[in-house]
Amino acid sequence: ITPGELLCLGSSLAFSGLFYYLYRRKSRVVTRIQEAPKLQVDDNLPALVSAAEGRCLPYVALEGIVLPAQAALTSHYHEGLQGVIQKLQLKEHRLVWNSLARSW
Find the domain containing 20 and state its range. 3-83
Give the DSSP H or E segment for 73.
strand 73-74
Closest C-alpha to 57, from 72, 44, 74: 44
End-to-end CA distance of the chain: 43
Domain-embedded: residue 93 = no
Domain-embedded: residue 100 = no
Domain-embedded: residue 92 = no
Residues in the chain: 104
Q: Which pLDDT belongs to residue 3?
A: 93
Q: Which pLDDT belongs to residue 89?
A: 65
Closest C-alpha to 21, from 13, 32, 31: 13
Tens of each residue's pLDDT in the chain, 104 residues: 899 999 999 999 999 999 999 999 999 989 988 888 888 888 888 888 888 888 888 778 888 887 888 888 888 998 888 888 766 666 766 777 778 877 77
Domain-embedded: residue 98 = no
> How far apart, in whole angstroms, are the C-alpha atoms of residue 68 and residue 86?
9
* pTM of this structure: 0.46
Number of domains in the chain: 1
